[in-house]
Amino acid sequence: SPGLQAYEGRHAAFNVLSGDDTQSAFGVRRLRLGIRGTIPKTEGAVTYLATVDAGQNASTSDGPALMDGSATYSSPWGPRFRAGQFKLATMDETLEAFHITTDLIDFSVVAARLLQERAIDEGVQTGAAYSFRDIGVMLFDTVSFSNQLRLSYALSVTNGKARAIDEDDAKDVGGRVQLAWLPKPQQEFKPDRNELALFAWGLEGSRHYSDTQRVDRLRAGGGAQFMWDWLRLRTEAVWAKGALPTGAAPPFPGNPVAVAPDAKAWGGTFLFGARVVEPLELDLGFNRLDQQYDEEAPRRIFTEVVIGAQYFLDAKAKVALNYAWRDISAPDGSPDAKRIVDTVAPKLSVQATVRY
């Protein structure tokens, strides 16, 4: 159509890795350096964590970025108190340590579009991604009800803007609760422990939208996970309202990503992993996002099916291969919108991970 003539011969943004036309590339996706320790003369009660990422990803588009910078006080009566910049207690997928327990290379479309946040200026996204982090305080703890039953909770008050000076008095309030049954209690503090867990979370606040407008932002969800030796199953659901990134219009590189002030979306994820034979694991992910589901022309439905394999060289190194089949539909979109989303292509990724 005449409206798309300027983009003739170009690839849509969801089909490129960088620039206007890059569809294959090598890269150092994450180069994360960190330090963790205990504050002297606190008898182990106060610990600290600081990490910086110098890789090539959404969080470092403006250059190397501070990822974590927090101190944690473990009180003798139970609860722990954390202050600084830290990960928010939301989706289980976003809480995983990518170098230890993450099974798939990319975040799901649900996590990436509903929880991966950037600053908003005059209704469009700007700057680097926040990496599911914020600056503030958090109270959290785990309570034992029996030898095998654990209740964990986290409550947070944060700025709603990571890696930046707070420019207003508005705050985000968040919370997460999880009930877990541990068949092998001796594994309690292992990241890949055997468990049957149920969890729910919520995060509410407001965002600067333009010089004259603030908008409410709500994210909430829940899910379940079952891990038993060689088998892993996890499913999560997320609901979102307000400050919702809806993509560029039209969706080509260089166009700003618009943010809808009051739009709604919901999404679901499913993950299956099986360590079929040592040291090989096979993985399967299914993700679906229904964006602006209560509107007609703007509605988009994203579907992903990811087939993956991981080969563990040792406890600290692995190689992963992912093939992602992707689909986007615009049920009530314009002919141009339907024509563009029909071009979405599969994605093949290979990643080597080493931690030290």
Q: Quick one: pLDDT at residue 19?
A: 67
**What tokens appear for 355 in the block?**
């931690």
pTM: 0.96
Amino acid making up residue 31: L
Mean pLDDT of the chain: 95
Q: For residues 103-135, b (16+ Cβ closer than 10 Å) or e, as one string?
A: bbbbbbbbbbbbbbbbbbeeebbeebbbbbbbb
Distance CA 317, CA 355 (A): 7
- Tell how strand 149-158 and strand 119-121 pair up: unpaired
Domains of the chain: 2-354 (2.40.160.10)
**What tokens appear for 128 in the block?**
């680097």
Contacts of residue 164, defined as CB under 8 A and 6 or more positions apart, other chains included, come to 119
Q: How many CB atoms lie under 10 A from the CB of residue 328? A: 24
Q: Quick one: pLDDT at residue 304?
A: 99
Q: Quick one: pLDDT at residue 104?
A: 97
Mean pLDDT calculated for residue range 231-243: 99
Mean pLDDT calculated for residue range 292-300: 98
Is the per-residue pLDDT at 315 higher than 80? yes
The 10s digit of each residue's pLDDT in 254-291 is 899 999 999 999 999 999 999 999 899 999 999 999 99
Is the per-residue pLDDT at 218 higher than 80? yes
- Tell how strand 172-181 and strand 124-126 pair up: unpaired
Q: Quick one: pLDDT at residue 94?
A: 97
Residue carrying structure tokens 């988009």: 300
Virtual torsion, Cα 36, 39, 44, 45, nearest 10 deg: -100
Predicted confidence band of residue 8 (pLDDT cuts 50, 70, 90): confident
Mean pLDDT is highest, among 18-27, 155-164, 238-247, for 238-247
Pick the range with the lowest mean pLDDT from 18-27, 65-74, 329-338, 346-355: 18-27
Distance CA 85, CA 66 (A): 9
- Tell how strand 172-181 and strand 195-210 pair up: antiparallel
Residue 174 CA neighbour count, 13 Å, CB half: 33
- Which carries the bigger pLDDT value, residue 47 or residue 2? 47
The 10s digit of each residue's pLDDT in 79-124 is 999 999 999 999 999 999 877 789 999 999 999 999 999 999 999 9
Q: Quick one: pLDDT at residue 50?
A: 98
